Structure 1
Amino acid sequence: MSGYVDLQINGYAGVDFNTDDLPGQSLHECCQTLRRDGVEGILATIITSDVDSMCRRIARLVQLRERDDLARKLIWGLHIEGPFLNPATGYIGAHPVAQARQADAASMQRLLDAGGGLVRLVTLAPEMDHRQSVTRMLSDERICIAAGHTDASRDQLRASIDAGLSLFTHLGNGCPQLLPRHDNIIQRALSLADELWISLIADGAHIPFFVLRNYLAVTGLERVIIVTDAISAAGCGPGRFQLGDRWINVGPDGVPRAEDHSHLVGSGTIMRRMAENLRSELLLTASEVEQLTVTNPRRLFELYPGESSVQSRGSRARQSIEG
């Protein structure tokens, strides 16, 4: 089997991507550990903060990646999750509510420019994107757009799909624990599963395994992708770990949670463990596990080659970093 492809990694092995002062050696060692854990490619994920901070963190990753052969091979691109997310309790999840905001093209352009042509995926809440203007902008740039941390209506999801939305980020998470029985964001997304790719976290904490089995019975395997949503705690066990501007405590079960236990904060589980869960808990075959952790994410990645002006954006980003 080829190496795993993970489209959502916020950090790994004690290293947080969402900091202003990420050391180059730490990124290299993180990539070494990912490679040892069977990962071939990732999208390094930057989460919601103020736009200035997000731009600095994105630019720092771009800078360090350019200097490191292993990082260039392993970090296939960037995933920007936020800041255009629903700020309501539950939907915002672990993202800082004060920084959630309506989507606007100028802020999105700043984030893309900081990425130097490496942005391959953006997660936003469709209801925060007025008239789908940012969704259309990203679609024109051949960037994958995902719905996440959202309470979009079915009509809003359909309008976003028409504008270029193609993925739903970590279905079953980024929403309140208590939802209306029938008309809720999970059911709306599942009702459109023939038009969307769906990403899922297979650690048993974000989604109980019997629920994950139910989701797969509805969606089928053709357009489902397993992501870890890993934070710096991934592969480290219990302890205290950083995610952006906050510190997260991980208990004996290895699951990162908010201090009040109201929600999960990313994952501490590596992809190899999730693949084992799919085999042992869902009884998927080896080829089915490979489809969800290798083949499908690679297919989605190849469908969205990224910004149309990669070379010019990369040059501007380098000039910004070096100047």
Structure 2
Amino acid sequence: MSGYIDLQVNGYAGIDFNAKTITDQQWIDVCKRLSDDGVDQILATVITAPFPEMILRVRHIADVIERLPEVRERVAGIHVEGPFLNPETGYVGAHPVDAVRKADQSMAERLLDSGNGHVRLVTLAPESDSGAEVTRFLTDRGICVAAGHSNATLDQLKESIDNGLKLFTHLGNGCPGELPRHDNIIQRVLSVADQIAVSFIADGHHVPPFALRNYLDVMPDANIIIVTDAISAAGLGPGKFQLAGQTVTVDEDGAAWSADRTHFAGSAATMPEMMAVLTDKVGVSVEQAKRWMSDNPRRLLNTTSFNDNTVQ
């Protein structure tokens, strides 16, 4: 397999993975569409919701992975994004603030149990995880832990790295539009980017191409990962779509907006579209982009190359 590996997919081709009801045929159809778009594997992503709903969503995805070979081939596991995030405006992004919680080991264990071994990645805010205890708990159980939707201090990031943190989720997003000029979450993460992988949404909207180029230029090549953060709108063009009960509007330029248009709510882009942005607008080679969209995320999922927090 040499196609794209996407670690963050909330939905695709009209199907919202966070919907209350998804038929087996819809799962089969969306996996066929992913295959047609050159995607080898994804992590189906469950976002923050009232905790019982998150449990049901994780359980449903685990069930279809186990029952349907077409899904098992394409869905490598589950990415749980939340509920242990920073609730402040800007950092919380499209996640419902009333469902955000402090990191809690018993809640984390219930999420893992509901996934029956299929939860592969958990995104949390290190500042919500006192003493990085949940990060260590998850790491010890073979889960890749990512920071995200976070305003962690540099010390908090380093403490999380010492306890197994391997990734930062979609840097440049999940934070306010205006930040302190020097000491901000983007600069802090870039300062430790030789120790963890960092994912970026390369749709041309979430991070302007010139800014994305600046970030990529200071990152170790082996630690760069491109994700779509796709929602049900992916590949369908302008219109109104659903993300976990929220209405998202995709404009004529392909940007996916929250109902109040104050922030993006996932992405409507596919991996082939992001390849075009990277090569045509950011100015990287096809070979580089393939490493970031296939080799690096595959290594993060399938090996322990980031476990010792060194660049491989």
Q: How far did residue 157 of structure 1 move?
A: 0.4
Q: For 1:223-262, list aligned pairs within 5 A.
A: 223-262=223-262
Q: For 1:61-80, list aligned pairs within 5 A.
A: 61-80=61-80
The aligned amino acid for 2:13 is A
Q: 1:137 matched to which residue of 2?
A: 137
Q: 1:30 matched to which residue of 2?
A: 30
Q: 2:87 matched to which residue of 1?
A: 87
The alpha-carbon distance between structure 1 residues 304 and 11, as it changes in their structure 2 partners (threshold 3 A), is farther
Alignment partner of 1:165: what SS? coil
Alignment partner of 2:218: what SS? helix
Q: For 1:42-61, list aligned pairs within 5 A.
A: 42-61=42-61
Give the whole-Å Cα distance in 2 for the aligned partners of 1:233 and 1:180: 33
Cα contact 2:4–2:41 (8 A) shared by 1: yes
Q: 1:159 matched to which residue of 2?
A: 159
**1:104-138 CA distance string (max 9 Å, x none):** 01111111011110111000000001111110100
Q: 2:282 matched to which residue of 1?
A: 282
TM-score normalised by L of structure 2:
0.96
Alignment partner of 1:6: what SS? strand
The alpha-carbon distance between structure 1 residues 230 and 304, as it changes in their structure 2 partners (threshold 3 A), is farther
User: Please, what is the CA RMSD of the aligned residues?
Assistant: 1.2
Cα contact 1:202–1:227 (8 A) shared by 2: yes
Give the whole-Å Cα distance in 1 for the aligned partners of 2:241 and 2:194: 38
Greater shift, 213-222 or 152-161, is seen at: 213-222
Q: How far did residue 273 of structure 1 move?
A: 0.7
Give the whole-Å Cα distance in 1 for the aligned partners of 2:145 and 2:68: 28
Q: How far did residue 283 of structure 1 move?
A: 2.3
TM-score normalised by L of structure 1:
0.92
Structure 1 residue 97 corresponds to structure 2 residue 112: no
Give the whole-Å Cα distance in 1 for the aligned partners of 2:181 and 2:61: 42
Q: 2:5 matched to which residue of 1?
A: 5
Q: 1:213 matched to which residue of 2?
A: 213
Q: 2:107 matched to which residue of 1?
A: 107
The aligned amino acid for 1:227 is V
Give the whole-Å Cα distance in 1 for the aligned partners of 2:289 and 2:6: 13
The aligned amino acid for 1:246 is Q
Q: 1:309 matched to which residue of 2?
A: none
Give the whole-Å Cα distance in 2 for the aligned partners of 1:181 and 1:39: 38
Q: 2:198 matched to which residue of 1?
A: 198
The aligned amino acid for 1:302 is N
Q: 1:303 matched to which residue of 2?
A: 303
**1:199-257 CA distance string (max 9 Å, x none):** 00101100000001000111131110000000000001111111112111212112110
Structure 1 residue 176 corresponds to structure 2 residue 188: no
Give the whole-Å Cα distance in 2 for the aligned partners of 1:218 and 1:49: 35
Cα contact 1:147–1:169 (8 A) shared by 2: yes
Greater shift, 65-74 or 123-132, is seen at: 65-74
Give the whole-Å Cα distance in 1 for the aligned partners of 2:95 and 2:75: 23
Alignment partner of 2:253: what SS? coil
Unpaired segments ≥5 residues, structure 2: 306-312
Give the whole-Å Cα distance in 2 for the aligned partners of 1:98 and 1:269: 28
Q: How far did residue 279 of structure 1 move?
A: 1.2
Unpaired segments ≥5 residues, structure 1: 306-323
Runs of 4 or more consecutive aligned structure 1 residues displaced over 3 Å after TM superposition: none
Q: 1:119 matched to which residue of 2?
A: 119
Alignment partner of 2:172: what SS? coil
Cα contact 1:143–1:304 (8 A) shared by 2: no
* Number of equivalent positions: 305
